[in-house]
């Protein structure tokens, strides 16, 4: 029986488990291998596909059982397949292909993706023109015990067969809801050129994925009806860069930014698009203005280094700064168009449908948890006087030791304390809205566990808004309506929650 002697150790495997992979990039490794095998053998495979009346096809199937130990992935392609020698070579860690200028570059993709996904995986393959099918199973538990020789099973098969099947079991994580939607969206984006040119039929659980690009109707037009869309070409560090940019008439935070492309394979794309600060502004914290929603494009970067997980360009020297400066020179005027054009009266910064699905799925998961059930239905609530007295003591200590941020309105001062010395067990916020008609005190606990759930500057902004809006609504209800009735407080807060939109509308 043939054997493969693998040249790695459990320590290497454990490092693969800790890779900062995203599931769609892990799955893309298999599609890269399938498409590159096709590109390497395109002439003969095109003849075969014409006879078979189908295209290169890759099926990514995710089977979900009742428990995670029943879950598995199965990736099936009808590409060239592997011979015995090629199968053996595939298990040599870090041994790049003879031609590493394409999508299979470092000799790491299949191994790192499979180790990251699960503890056991099997490859079944036969190469076009071969009369043998080969299969080999890798079990991490066996490797950890020092068994580094893998048995290769073989059987006779028709020479006109050609496929590779990879099955990954004993998965380390489960995927559902919004994550499934992201997987399909990202894979469609990564292989947009293969799919739209009919080179590749890509499936997720038998659902064929497609890519809907942009047309002239998607972009803002000038007074002559010409779309604000521009092609460009320049060199960076002796390397050719081509691409295009446009200003969408209807944008969103999930659309903005550039897709970075190499070899007609997308490396980075919206909703995590490439956004140079020279055009989009500082990205730390996740700025969400109209430029970040509307300005889109594609950059074709040939010859630049790519991370081994193929989700980033590895910029060298001043390449990134030079690229950003060149883009500013080419399309800097588009910033003003993106900021000034308004398609509708409504604020276009609304979350996308994908954001909504993810948020709702997370909320339902939390509400269906045993932890929330215990808090709502089981955990007792202390008497009102104890809560009030405890809050007063915390308020007194913080007011005496901390300088507040002052917000001054006509006849009213809001003292905002954002405290990082409070205990994680202290309240998330303490409001004193009714002790003094001229002063509102708002104390936000920066050490509360919920603070860690905030996502960047926008998350912090909206959290602080809610804390301050609650206090102001209570103040207005108490001193102007002589009530703390919940519906009255919510009515007042509703007006406050419209302020960001009113400000933006008045600045148009």
SS (H, E, C) 123-156: EEEECCCCCEEEEEEEEHHHHHCCCCEEEEEEEE
Q: What is the CATH number of domain 216-340?
A: 3.30.230.10
CA 337 to chain CA centroid, nearest Å: 28
| Sheet of strand 412-419: strand arrangement | 405-409, 412-419, 439-445, 429-436
In this structure, the dihedral spanned by the alpha carbons of residues 366, 370, 373 and 374, taken in order and rounded to 10 degrees, is -130
pTM (two decimals): 0.68
Q: Where in the chain is the domain with CATH 3.30.230.10?
A: 216-340
CB 210 within 8 A of CB 202: no
Q: What is the CATH number of domain 3-208?
A: 3.30.565.10
Handedness of CA 321, 327, 330, 331 (dihedral sign): negative
Q: Where in the chain is the domain with CATH 3.30.565.10?
A: 3-208
> DSSP secondary structure string, 301-344?
E-S--B-TTSSSB---TTHHHHHHHHHHHHHTTHHHHHHH--SS
Q: One digit per residue, pLDDT tens: the chain, 508 residues?
A: 666 666 555 556 655 666 667 899 999 999 999 999 999 999 999 999 999 999 999 999 999 988 888 999 999 999 999 999 898 887 776 556 666 566 665 556 788 888 889 989 999 999 999 999 999 998 877 777 666 677 889 999 999 999 999 999 999 888 887 788 889 999 999 999 999 999 999 999 999 999 988 999 999 998 899 999 999 999 999 999 999 999 999 877 778 999 999 999 999 998 889 999 989 887 654 566 788 889 999 999 988 998 878 888 999 999 999 999 999 999 999 998 988 876 544 445 566 666 777 777 777 777 777 777 777 887 788 888 888 898 999 999 998 888 899 999 888 999 999 988 899 899 999 999 999 999 999 999 999 989 988 877 778 888 999 999 999 999 999 999 898 999 999 999 998 888 877 776 555 4
């Amino acid at each position: 029986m043939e054997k493969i002697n693998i040249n790695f150790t459990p320590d290497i495997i454990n490092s693969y488990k800790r890779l900062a992979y995203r599931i769609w990039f892990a799955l893309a490794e298999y599609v890269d291998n399938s498409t590159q095998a096709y590109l390497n053998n395109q002439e003969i495979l095109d003849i075969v596909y014409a006879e078979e009346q189908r295209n290169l096809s890759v099926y990514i199937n995710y089977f979900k059982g009742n428990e995670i130990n029943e879950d598995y992935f199965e990736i099936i392609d009808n590409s060239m397949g592997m011979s015995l020698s090629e199968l053996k070579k595939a298990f040599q860690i870090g041994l790049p292909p003879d031609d590493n200028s394409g999508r299979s570059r470092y000799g790491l993709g299949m191994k790192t993706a499979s180790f990251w996904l699960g503890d056991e995986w099997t490859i079944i393959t036969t190469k076009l023109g071969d009369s043998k099918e080969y299969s080999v199973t890798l079990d991490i538990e066996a490797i950890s015990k020092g068994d580094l020789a893998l048995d290769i099973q073989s059987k006779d098969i028709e020479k006109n067969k050609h496929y590779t099947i990879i099955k990954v079991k004993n998965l380390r994580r489960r995927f559902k809801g919004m994550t499934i939607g992201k997987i399909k969206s990202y894979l469609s984006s990564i292989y947009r050129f293969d799919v739209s040119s009919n080179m590749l039929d890509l499936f997720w659980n038998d659902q064929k994925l497609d890519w809907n690009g942009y047309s002239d109707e998607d972009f803002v037009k000038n007074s002559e009806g010409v779309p604000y869309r521009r092609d460009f070409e320049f060199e960076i560090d002796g390397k050719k860069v081509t691409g295009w940019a446009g200003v969408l008439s209807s944008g969103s935070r999930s659309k903005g930014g550039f897709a970075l492309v190499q070899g007609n394979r997308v490396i980075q794309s919206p909703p995590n698009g490439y956004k140079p600060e020279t055009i989009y502004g500082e990205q730390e914290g996740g700025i969400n203005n109209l430029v970040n929603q509307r300005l889109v494009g594609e950059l074709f970067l040939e010859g630049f280094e790519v991370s081994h997980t193929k989700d980033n360009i590895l910029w060298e020297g001043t390449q990134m700064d030079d690229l950003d400066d060149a883009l500013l020179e080419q399309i800097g005027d588009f910033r003003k168009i993106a900021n000034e054009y308004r398609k509708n009266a409504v604020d276009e910064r609304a979350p996308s449908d994908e954001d909504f699905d993810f948020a709702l799925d997370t909320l339902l998961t939390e509400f269906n948890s045993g932890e929330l059930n215990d808090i709502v239905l089981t955990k007792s609530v202390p008497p009102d006087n104890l809560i009030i007295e405890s809050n007063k003591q915390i308020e007194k200590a913080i007011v005496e030791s901390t300088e507040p941020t002052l917000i001054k309105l006509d006849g009213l001062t809001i003292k905002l304390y954002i405290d990082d010395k409070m205990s994680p067990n202290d309240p998330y916020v303490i409001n004193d809205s009714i002790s003094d008609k001229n002063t509102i005190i708002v104390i936000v606990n920066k050490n509360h566990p919920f603070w860690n759930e905030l996502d960047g500057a926008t998350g912090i902004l909206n959290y602080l808004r809610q804390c301050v809006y609650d206090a102001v609504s209570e103040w207005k209800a108490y001193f102007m309506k002589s009530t703390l009735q919940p519906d009255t407080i919510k009515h007042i807060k509703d007006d406050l929650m419209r302020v960001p939109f009113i400000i933006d509308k008045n600045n148009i």
